[in-house]
Structure formats: structure tokens, C-alpha cells
Structure 1
Amino acid sequence: MLAGRKSGTEAFLVKLFAVVPLVAVAAAVPLAWGWGLSWLDIGLAAAFYCVSGLGITVGFHRYFTHGSFRARRGLRIALAVAGSMAMQGPVIDWVADHRRHHAYSDRDGDPHSPWRFGTSPAALAKGFWHAHMGWLFGRDRTNPRRFAPDLLDDTDLRTIDRLFPVLTVGTLLLPALLGGLITMSWWGALTAFFWAGLVRVAVLHHVTWSVNSLCHLIGERPFEARDRSANFWPLAIASFGESWHNSHHADPTGARHGVGRGQLDISARLIWMFEKFRWASHVRWPRPERLARKLKAA
């Protein structure tokens, strides 16, 4: 069985987590004009963006979903907590959804393919919305026992999965706490909550969702893949290397997605650092001969 049904509470929380930060982004420009934007707000937003974003790319995606490396217990727990702070769902559900995506990429069963409704302009517009965030609002829930049994059997991950609501509160209130303590003012707490909490989460959401939508619609496809995944360079930095998506789908377990010259992949560099510190081992770096076999003929 591919999927079950979300409970009413789960469906409501998904909508809440997706919509509230988005409303903050809509308010960001006029509020920035009125309030100004302090360097502290920018610094806190950048720091929390990196921690939670790399928790998704290195932790939820390359490690937990694809097993691109092995991690010591402390690193495994830290990556699960950091990824949960992105407010993209509990770790087990996130991994189950993404493994299902790879199993059925751009075919029936893929939870978020932009090609789901056809290839006409109207169908692709509808498909873009579905792949970007519309799929989150459905009642479909990927079966974790089928797609993530290893995570369900991990006591640490089950605990972190259950603590997702607590980590959600923490990812929003911790910037406010730091902003308030550093400035010694309620105003500093409020602006940090807005910029480093709500706006940061919303920006990270839409960068991640753009990999699901844009990176299956437009970009370069130098490698053979079973789907329409594409490399979309404008998102490379903001996504920490995830937008080298065609390269990733050609070699899903590879720890580095930016395999070409000049293809910046910040997530891969962090994994390299983990390996040097011996926090990670058995890293699956891309093999040139494998990539050569996947490369399309000119």
C-alpha cells in the first residue's frame, strides 16, 4: 500500500505550517520599509536558514533518505533535529515521501510531479502548483512502514519524530529569544521572530519546494534519468546544491550532486567536513566511470 489518509489534525497543521510563514513573506516588504531591517535580524535569519536548510539537505535528504554516508549517533540525532527545525514535517514522513518520489518519479504514485495532469500549458500550470505546494494540502499520507521501515525501527528517530511540534515551536521562538537577549528589548525579540523565524522558514520552504517543481520542469538534463529531473543553476546556492537535480536523479545515493565543473554544492562540502572529523564514514562520492555511463551522448 503506497499511502493512507492524514487525520483532520494533521491536515490542518500542514496548512498552518505552509500558509502562516507565507503570509509573513507577503508582509515582509512593507514591514521592512516601515521597520527597517537590522544586521542582527539578517544574521540570525542567515544562521537559522543554514542550520535548518542543511538539516534538510544533508540530513533528511542525503543521509536519511538515500544513505549517502554513515553517521555517528550524535551526528545522526543532530541532523534529525536540525532538519525538523525547517518545519517541513516530521523526519519519518519527510523521508517516506521522498523515497516514494524516487520510486515513482514523474509517474503514477509520485506524490509531487508537475507532469501529473498532462503537458498542455494549462496542465503544466496546474502541475506546477501541485508539485510546488498543492500536494501538501491533500489527505494522502505516504505509508512509512513501506517506505521508511528503517527509520521506524530507530528509537532515536521515533523520539525526534514525535517531538516535531516542540521543535516547531523552538525554531520560531529561539530566534526571538536570541534577538531579545542581544538587544535587551521586546522589539528585538519581535523583529527576530518575524525575520529569522517566520520569513526564514517561508523562504526555505519555497526553495525546497522549487526543487520539486522547477527542477522537474526547466533546466539542463545532461544525464540519463527515468524522469524529467533537471539541473537548475539559479537555485544552487539557496538550495545548498540540491538544484543539481538531474545529476542527483542519475545517481541518487551520491553524496555530491554538483558533479560538474563549477557546480557549487555546499551540502557536499559539509559532508566532506564531517568525513574529515570522522563523524561520517563510508561516504558515497560520485564515481567518474558511473557518471560517464549516465552521460547523454552529445
Structure 2
Amino acid sequence: MAHVEQVAGKRDKKAVSSPYLHKLQRRHFVLFDILPTLGTVGALWLAFTVRPPTALDLTLFAVMWALTGFSISIGFHRLFTHRAFKTSAPVRVLLTVFGCMAARSSMITWTSQHRRHHELADHEGDVHSPNLFGQTWRLRLKGLWYSHFSWMLKHEYPNVVHYVPDLLADKAIMKADRGYLRWAVLGLVLPGVIAGALTQSWLGALTGFLWGGVVRQFVVAQQVSALNSLTHMFGTRMFKMKDNHSHNNALFGLITWGEGWHNNHHAFPDSANFGFRWYQLDPGYWIIRVMEAVGLVWDVKRPDAERIAGRIQRLEALDEPAAEPTAGARMPG
């Protein structure tokens, strides 16, 4: 990944593309998308033919799912991409490490892609929009497949010097992020080691590895991909932004760490809170509030009711996309 960043940084463009980058992208897709899918099939076969998952297996799955998923939501997304709050270097490093264990790409890659997504949401150049193919049901299905899976096989790489100069200047998280592949593999192996040590059996180590590592990685991957695909096609729109098809989805709001309130997020990208109504549950924000209460985070950004109402009225009156500044290019450190 460090070499990828160097390649991207040398080009005076917002995004670069090359056979070398595409080779890395295909390799990553095989390692962290295809193999976990096959491993999940194997885990289910083992569960039905040899032994169902034990309480330890399910506990390892839940703990690793929470650590990696919330680190993507709170760390990669709200903190690193949008600067929705501030925190100390040790917390930033931990969020980087656990986020890398999700194997959704390195923190630098993920954040640069997501800042570009906000810059070009549902327009040409948005690397995983499902809405660029057409409106017939066949083309919409093609868009869903592309935004959920196939874009990862070959795509432009955002110029990290343009999109994330603030993160490149953060030595602590950059040092942690360079170990991306190491952390991703550790996220797979660690549950198996823990299960093997506790059960003193190879079968226990295998099922711990499968459920806490492989299946967990597969599930988190599908949840993150669903935010790219499904929430840009289905749900409700509290903020009806022109040519921005982000939607709120109550189901995904709950099971994707609060990320399913995607339309709210696109209207206020720098908000740490994605749920603007009492019924819009945002578990990621609950954790941020707890961390704020104990002094682990500070300067938490959240829009008040007046600002939210004003945005709705302005968008309805002007029928134009929200232009809320996001933590994008050329940010100060």
C-alpha cells in the first residue's frame, strides 16, 4: 500500500489509473472478498455437518465485528474522512489498526476514496455509484452489482496528496496504516489463536478462525458495500438533494453502526451524528458520546435543530444539492 500511495502522489491529477494499480486491486479483491466468501460457505457447511458454532465462536464473531465495524464507522469515516471530532494519537492509532482488520483497504485508501465519493456523489468519477448506468430494471441491477462488488476489481485510485494531505502529515496513524496487510491478516488469525488456546483443540481453533475471522470479515464487507449500493437506491430522503441519490434506511441504520442514515450524512458530512430524529438510531454516535463524556474525544460536531430545518427549507426552495463543505482536499493539519 505504501508503494501505491507513492505512485498516486507523483501524479498531478485527482485520480490515477495504471495496470499496476489494477493488478493490486484484483489481488486485494481475491484475498479479502472472494476467499472470505468461500470461507463463509465452508463455515456454514461445517456448522451443518460437523458442529454448529459454539458460544465462544459467536462471542468472537460479535467482538471482532464490533471492533472492526465501529472502527470503520467511527474512525475511518467520521474521524479521518470528515473530521467530525478530535481525539488523541493513541485513540487514532487504535481506530486505524482495528479498521484495517476489517480488510476494506488501508485507512489512507479508504478515506481518499470516500472524500472523492462526497465530491462527486452519483456523478461521473464516483468510484462506486450505482446510479450511472440507466433507469431500466436491468441497468439498475447492473448498477447494484457494480457498486456492491465489481468496482473493486478495477478503478481509479484517488490522488492521496490532493485528498488527504492532513492524514499524510499525521505520523502516528501513517505508521500504523503502513501495516495494513499485517493487521488484516491478524484480524483473521487472532480469533483462531484465542479459540485454540481456550479450547485446547484444533477444531476449536478452526471454528474460532472461521467465525471470528473469515465469516466476520465477510459480513462486515457486505455491510460496508451495502452502504455504497443499497443506500444510494432505496429508502427515504429527508434532504432531497438534486442528483444525489443517498437515502436513509432504518434497517441499515441499526445494523451498520448507524451508517444507514446515509441521506442525513450527505446533507451534513461533518456531523458526528447521523440520526437527526429520535427514531433514527445511531450506535456509532452513542459510542462517540460515551467517549466524549470520559474525555477520550472532544470538539464533536453536530448540527442543531435550527440548522437541520434550515437546510431542509433551503433545499426544498432551491431544489439544488447540498454544498456542505466536507473534510476534503487541502485541509489544514
Q: What TM-score do the two structures reach when normalised by structure 2?
A: 0.86
Structure 1 counterpart of 2:143, one-letter code: G
Q: 1:214–1:294: structure 2 CA closer, same or farther, 3 Å change rule? A: same
1:24 and 2:39 matched: yes
Residue pair 1:224, 1:250 contacting (<8 A) in 2 also: no
Rounded to whole Å, the distance in 2 between the matches of 1:50 and 1:93 is 22
Residue pair 2:43, 2:207 contacting (<8 A) in 1 also: no
1:265 and 2:277 matched: no
Alignment counterpart, residue 238 of structure 1, candidates 241, 252, 255: 255
1:126 and 2:163 matched: no
1:52 and 2:68 matched: yes
Rounded to whole Å, the distance in 2 between the matches of 1:197 and 1:240 is 19
1:3 and 2:15 matched: yes
Between the aligned residues of both structures, percent identity stands at 35
Rounded to whole Å, the distance in 2 between the matches of 1:251 and 1:139 is 27
1:203 and 2:219 matched: yes
1:13-66 per-residue CA deviation (whole Å, 9 max, x = no partner) reads 233211111112333433221221101100000000000000000000000000
Root mean square deviation of aligned Cα: 1.5
Q: Give unpaired runs (5+ residues) of structure 1.
A: none
* Aligned equivalent of 2:206: 190
Residue pair 1:112, 1:131 contacting (<8 A) in 2 also: yes
Q: Give the length in aligned residue pairs.
A: 298
Rounded to whole Å, the distance in 2 between the matches of 1:31 and 1:143 is 44
Alignment counterpart, residue 295 of structure 1, candidates 296, 306, 312: 312
* Aligned equivalent of 2:269: 252
Structure 1 segment 1-298 matched on structure 2, within 5 A: 1-5=13-17, 6=21, 8-34=23-49, 35-226=51-242, 227-295=244-312
Q: 1:115–1:139: structure 2 CA closer, same or farther, 3 Å change rule? A: closer
Q: Which moved more, 1:47-56 or 1:11-20?
A: 11-20
Q: Give unpaired runs (5+ residues) of structure 2.
A: 1-12, 317-333
Rounded to whole Å, the distance in 1 between the matches of 2:111 and 2:30 is 19
Q: 1:19–1:78: structure 2 CA closer, same or farther, 3 Å change rule? A: same
Residue pair 2:132, 2:143 contacting (<8 A) in 1 also: yes
Structure 2 counterpart of 1:58, one-letter code: I
Residue pair 1:14, 1:136 contacting (<8 A) in 2 also: yes
Structure 1 counterpart of 2:292, one-letter code: E
Q: 2:45 aligns to what SS in structure 1?
A: helix
Q: 1:295 aligns to what SS in structure 2?
A: helix
Tell me by how many angstroms 1:10 deviates: 4.4
1:146-176 per-residue CA deviation (whole Å, 9 max, x = no partner) reads 1111111221222122100110111011100
Rounded to whole Å, the distance in 1 between the matches of 2:88 and 2:53 is 39
Q: 1:151 aligns to what SS in structure 2?
A: helix
Tell me by how many angstroms 1:131 deviates: 0.8
Rounded to whole Å, the distance in 2 between the matches of 1:38 and 1:129 is 34
